[in-house]
Chain A
Amino acid sequence: MHIAKRDNLPVWKAWLIRGIAIIIAISLCGLITYLFTKMNPITVVDKMFKGLFGSERKTWKTVYQVACLLGISLAVTPAFKMRFWNIGAEGQVLIGAFAAAAVMFYAGRMPFFNDPGVSMEVKNTIIFPAMMIAAVLAGALWGFLPAFFKSRWNTNETLFTLMMNYVALQIVKFMVSYRGFKNLWSPNGTAVGMINSDLASAGIGNFTKIGEKPGTQYLFPIVVVAVLTVVLYLYLRFSKHGYEISVVGESERTASYAGIKVNRVIIRTMILSGALCGLVGFLIVGAEGTIAANSVDGRGYTAVMVSWMSQFNPIGMIFSSLLLVFMQFGAKEVPMPDGVSLDKNFANMLMAIILFFIIGCEFFINYQLQFGRHKKREV
């Protein structure tokens, strides 16, 4: 038996393989859920649906979760398309979120923002752009550093971006959430709760007062990510930059023969990636009104998968994000007979199964297993 490269698999066949993989993955998830909970799978799915879309507020929240994951997936896509293995989205989003939260935190200590004479709208028109700019800059810096070192000294970007995640995580922990440690933002040594809770409940520095109905604070992030999806689709597909990214991704040599300044493209794209991650960080802080070490909660890594399994296609990412959010957040909505709900550990298990199958099936799309002695070229 040996493994051979498939030359050109028809598109419909590739999608058939993917479809089968998803069906197997979901069936396996159903089976495992059944084995652990002994509940009818239909009931479980029904509970997941009710938990995620059972009310207007819940629907908003679910769409917001999809938007977050989608936003980060979009952000990492330019870098991946360039074959720059940026697994630093987690840190880029977190540091962006941290910068936005810092603006929110210190603005809350300025007399201007505590002046009841100034309306909420005026305060927000100042604080939102400031938070956004801070977040985008911080994210861009986190993207720039690995790209700069890569282009200058050819460092390994995978390790570099990975390490940057831990740097961001430790900075955030140090500033806001070490328990028992007199951290800067929370002198009594507990994790930071709502930042500036008085201002926050007046809707300053967060999106809570954007809509009247419960849940509409998620509207703004959702709209931003929706616009971002379209823009990034156009950028990658039709712009000169997008073309350069593809060429560099195919082959750096070809790119430099064609007169593309490879290092410049790498740095520019990574700054873009980081900046977009930072933007999502701002959206998370704005929607949630606080920051914690787990604000990103692994979505920076999940986004890599989303981007990959959608073949870097922004439109495909909408569906991948939806599927993953449905499984991950939906599982937590399933109460077992004794009243204790399934928790995030179980949800992660389901997500891992789905990712395993979807990523795994790409192997069968690109390669085929051959039994016996066929006269095909070896890889």
Chain B
Amino acid sequence: MKKFLAIVLCLLMVAALAACKTTEQPKTEEPQQPAEQPEQGETAGSETTEGLDIKVGFICLHDENSTYDLNFINAAKAACATLGIPEGNYIIKTNIPEGKECYETAADMADSGCKIVFADSFGHEDFMIQAAKEFPDVQFCHATGTKAHTENLPNYHNAFAAIYEGRYLAGIAAGMKLKEMLDEGKITKDQLKIGYVGAFTYAEVVSGYTSFFLGVRSIVPEVTMDVIFTGSWYDEKAEKESAIKLMDGGCVLISQHADSMGAPSACESRGVPNVSYNGSTVSVGPNTYIVSSRINWEPYYEYAIKAAAAGEAIPADWTGTIETGSVELFELNNAVAAKDTQAAIDAAMAALKAGTLHVFSTDAFTVGGAALDSYLADVDTDPAYTPDTEVIKDGYFHESEFRSAPYFDLRIDGITLLNESY
């Protein structure tokens, strides 16, 4: 009996292990949501007069619990509804890791008749390329990727948005808040320091915090910024602790580029204003949340699906802008934002649209004390980060022009990186 019990316990242990092993994400709620969803699809379907006859597939790294993926999933559903693609003709697969599973899923989708397949995470890229090589008649579109313009496959495409412009606008909202705090005497000029919680030292993050900082500085020229990297896109504890560390270090306003509620909730507990990214965090920070910038993927999805249905070519790189509706600033929280913030944003937005204002104008920043008149960026991906393309001309850094994904990786004066290990 004893021996038998030992065996049963042993097996239970293994069973537990087998069960835990594959469910690393802390989320399993997904299947509970469909009850309310179908209506959405139905009403959308009945609104449109004619639907596109095309099957579409979407691959997501995580599920609705991640703000990043939720942003994609909502855009996917909205795009399909607008284009009148009936349910059953689009498939969304969630929790697809950045590995072989991505290729398998993309190939399966192509196999099931999808004419266009989208993936949302940086690490999916190699596997999307692999699928693109195997299924030349199917279009494969990858958000945030960098290799399409060098891979030269007619059916593989990258997309991103000029989100640095959105960050810049969010920076203006932050700058207005700082100015208000100065004017009200809540802080003095020497206290003008803001903090930023970043995920990794990738160009995407560097480009984001730099444009945000330049936006702030366009309103309050004396400002400086401290940056801490957490080494993860989603680590609530690390993001919270980093925000607290920044506030302890004298930062009077915080922004972040990481997907959890860590930094916003830390700000709320200290009453420090916060600027978000990719989604509104007003729910955890009703008294501190100012505004959030985000990429709206719907315009790209609609454009690419339409092109695929019509058999038209999709460019290797597609960069969404304010004009395409891809770069958005949303949910300005008037309870926290300074007066006239909206007007300041609108003015800057108009200037950006008109091309009279450039976020990375060489007049706006210096590196090592000197303004730049030339910079070679690593636009063509290679393991050694070889700089290959001149990106400064006409007096500004041409971000997101030579490829859709950001490549601004300069460390400009006025920003201090408190750690750089990621």
Interface residues in chain A, defined as those with a beta carbon under 8 Å from any beta carbon in chain B: 5, 36-38, 51, 54-55, 57-58, 61, 85, 87, 90, 158, 162, 179-181, 186-191, 193-194, 197, 201, 214, 288-290, 292, 294-295, 297-298, 301-302, 304-305, 308, 332-333, 335-346, 348-349, 352, 355-356, 359, 363, 366-367, 379
Partner of B90, one of A162, A187, A190, A339: A339
Tell me whether A85 and B98 are in contact (CB under 8 A): no
A-B contact pairs, 25 of them (CB 8 A): A38-B35, A54-B111, A57-B111, A87-B17, A179-B200, A180-B199, A180-B200, A180-B232, A180-B422, A288-B100, A292-B100, A297-B22, A298-B18, A298-B21, A332-B93, A335-B88, A338-B40, A339-B90, A341-B92, A342-B31, A344-B95, A348-B23, A355-B15, A355-B18, A379-B1
> Which candidate, B4-12, B180-188, B319-327, is the interface stretch facing chain A?
B4-12
How distant is B389 from chain A, measured CB to nearest CB, in Å? 17
CA distance A301 to B10 in the complex (A): 12
Shortest beta-carbon distance from B118 to chain A in Å? 12
Which B residues are in CB contact (< 8 Å) with A162?
17
Contact partners of A367 in chain B: CB under 8 A: 4
Partner of B11, one of A343, A344, A359: A359
Contact B15 A305 (CB under 8 A): yes
A194-B130 CB under 8 A given contacts A38-B34, A338-B87: yes
Q: What are the residues of chain A within 8 A of B104 when measuring CB–CB?
A: 61
- Which residues of chain A are near B10, meaning CB under 8 Å? 85, 158
Closest 4 CB pairs of A and B: A193-B126, A338-B37, A301-B18, A298-B21
Complex alpha-carbon distance, A363 and B63, angstroms: 38
B15 A356 Cβ-Cβ under 8 A: yes
A87 touches B14 (CB 8 A): yes
What CA separation (Å) do A153 and B112 show in the bound complex? 56
Interface residues on B, range: 35 or more
Are the CB atoms of B91 and A290 closer together than 8 Å?
A: no
B26 to chain A, nearest CB (A): 10
Contact status A343-B87, CB under 8 Å:
no
Q: Which residue from chain B places its CB closest to the CB of A349 in the assembled complex?
A: B28
Q: What's the minimum C-beta distance from A121 to chain B, rounded to whole angstroms?
A: 21
Of the candidates B28, B40, B123, B385, which one forms a contact with A191 in the assembled complex, judged by CB atoms under 8 Å apart?
A: B123
* Contact yes or no, B127 A191, CB < 8 A: no
A363 pairs with B73, CB closer than 8 A: no
Any chain A CB within 8 A of the CB of B83? no
Decide if A339 touches B18 in the complex (CB within 8 Å). no
Q: Which of B8, B28, B94, B130 contacts A363 (CB 8 A)?
A: B8
| Interfacial chain A residues near B77, Cβ < 8 Å | 338-339
Point out the residues of chain B lying under 8 angstroms from A341, CB to CB: 91-94
The smallest beta-carbon distance between A365 and chain B, in angstroms, is 12
Q: List the B side residues contacting A188 at CB < 8 Å.
A: 383, 385
Is B41 on the interface with A (CB-CB < 8 A)? yes
A379 to B33 CA separation, bound complex (whole angstroms)? 49
Residue of A nearest to B98 (CB): A191
B126 touching A194, Cβ below 8 Å: yes
* Distance from A286 Cβ to chain B, minimum over Cβ atoms (Å): 12
Do B122 and A190 touch across chains, with their CB atoms under 8 A apart?
yes
Q: Do the beta carbons of B112 and A54 come within 8 Å of each other? A: yes
**Per a CB cutoff under 8 Å, which of B28, B100, B122 touches A290?**
B100
A87 vs B385: C-alpha distance in the bound complex, in angstroms?
42
Any chain A CB within 8 A of the CB of B108? Answer: yes
Q: CB-nearest residue of chain A relative to B382?
A: A188
| Given A189-B200, A214-B134: 18 more A-B contacts, CB < 8 Å | A5-B1, A38-B34, A55-B112, A87-B14, A87-B17, A162-B17, A188-B385, A297-B21, A301-B17, A305-B11, A336-B37, A338-B34, A338-B41, A339-B80, A339-B90, A343-B93, A352-B15, A352-B18
Q: Are A201 and B34 in contact (CB under 8 A)?
A: no
Given contacts A57-B107, A188-B383, contact A294 B97 (CB under 8 A): yes
Query: How far is A39 from B391 in the complex, measured between Cα atoms in Å?
Result: 54
Q: Are A197 and B23 in contact (CB under 8 A)?
A: no
B25 touches A345 (CB 8 A): yes
Query: Is B129 an interface residue when CB atoms closer than 8 A count as contact?
Result: yes
Distance (whole angstroms) from the CB of B421 to the closest CB of chain A: 8
Query: Which B residues lie at the A interface, using CB under 8 A?
Result: 1, 4, 8, 10-11, 13-15, 17-19, 21-23, 25, 27-28, 30-35, 37-38, 40-41, 58, 63, 73, 76-77, 80, 87-88, 90-95, 97-100, 104, 107-108, 111-112, 122-123, 125-127, 129-130, 133-134, 199-200, 231-232, 383-385, 422
CA A304 to CA B384, docked complex, whole Å: 43
- Residues in A with CB closer than 8 Å to B19 are 348, 352
List chain A residues, Cβ under 8 A from B126. 193-194, 197
Contact partner of A338 (CB less than 8 A), chosen from B21, B38, B133, is B38
CA A305 to CA B30, docked complex, whole Å: 27
Q: How far, in Å, is A148 (CB) from chain B's closest CB? A: 21
Residues of A with C-beta under 8 A to B90: 339
B94 CB contact (under 8 Å) in A187, A295, A343, A366: A343
B239 to chain A, nearest CB (A): 14
Q: Cα distance A356–B19 when bound, in Å?
A: 11
Contact A340 B30 (CB under 8 A): yes
Residues A201 and B133 in contact, CB atoms below 8 Å apart = yes
Selected from B4, B8, B37, B108, the residue in CB contact (under 8 A) with A337 is B37
How far in angstroms is the closest Cβ of chain B from A307?
11
Q: Contact check: which of B108, B123, B134, B383 meets A58 at CB < 8 Å?
A: B108
Report the Cα distance A57→B17, complex, angstroms.
Answer: 31
Are A187 and B129 neighbours in the complex by a CB distance under 8 Å? no
**A179, chain B: closest CB distance, angstroms:** 8
Chain B CB within 10 A, most for which of A5, A348, A366? A348
| Assembly CA distance A162 to B18 (angstroms) | 12
A36 to B32, CA, bound (A): 6
Query: Is the pair A345, B422 in contact by a Cβ cutoff of 8 Å?
Result: no
B32 contact set on A, CB distance < 8 A: 36
Residues of B within 8 A of A346 (CB): 28, 30-31
Closest to A378 in B: B1
* B127–A194 touching, CB < 8 Å: yes
A87-B17, A180-B200 as given contacts; A193 in contact with B40, CB under 8 Å: no
Cβ contacts under 8 Å, A305 to chain B: 11, 14-15, 18
User: Smallest CB–CB gap between B208 and chain A, Å?
Assistant: 16
Q: How far is the CB of B22 from chain A (nearest CB, A)?
A: 4
From residue B12, how far is it (CB to closest CB) to chain A in Å? 9
Contact partners of B94 in chain A: CB under 8 A: 340-341, 343
Query: What residues of A have a CB within 8 angstroms of the CB of B123 in the complex?
Result: 179, 190-191, 193
**Provided the pairs A191-B99, A191-B123, A194-B126 are in contact, do residues A308 and B30 lie with their beta carbons within 8 angstroms?**
no
Shortest A198–chain B CB gap in Å is 11
Residue of A nearest to B88 (CB): A335
Report yes or no: B73 in contact with A340, Cβ–Cβ below 8 A. Answer: yes
CA distance A332 to B95 in the complex (A): 10
What chain A residues lie within 8 Å of B97 (beta carbons)? 292, 294
Tell me the smallest distance from the CB of B151 to a CB of chain A, in Å. 10
A340 to B38, CA, bound (A): 11
A359→B15 contact, CB < 8 A: yes
CB neighbours of B73 from chain A (8 A): 340
Least Cβ–Cβ distance between B377 and chain A, in angstroms: 15
A344 to B95, CA, bound (A): 7
CB-defined contacts of A189 to chain B, threshold 8 Å: 200, 422
A301 lies within 8 A of B14 (CB): yes
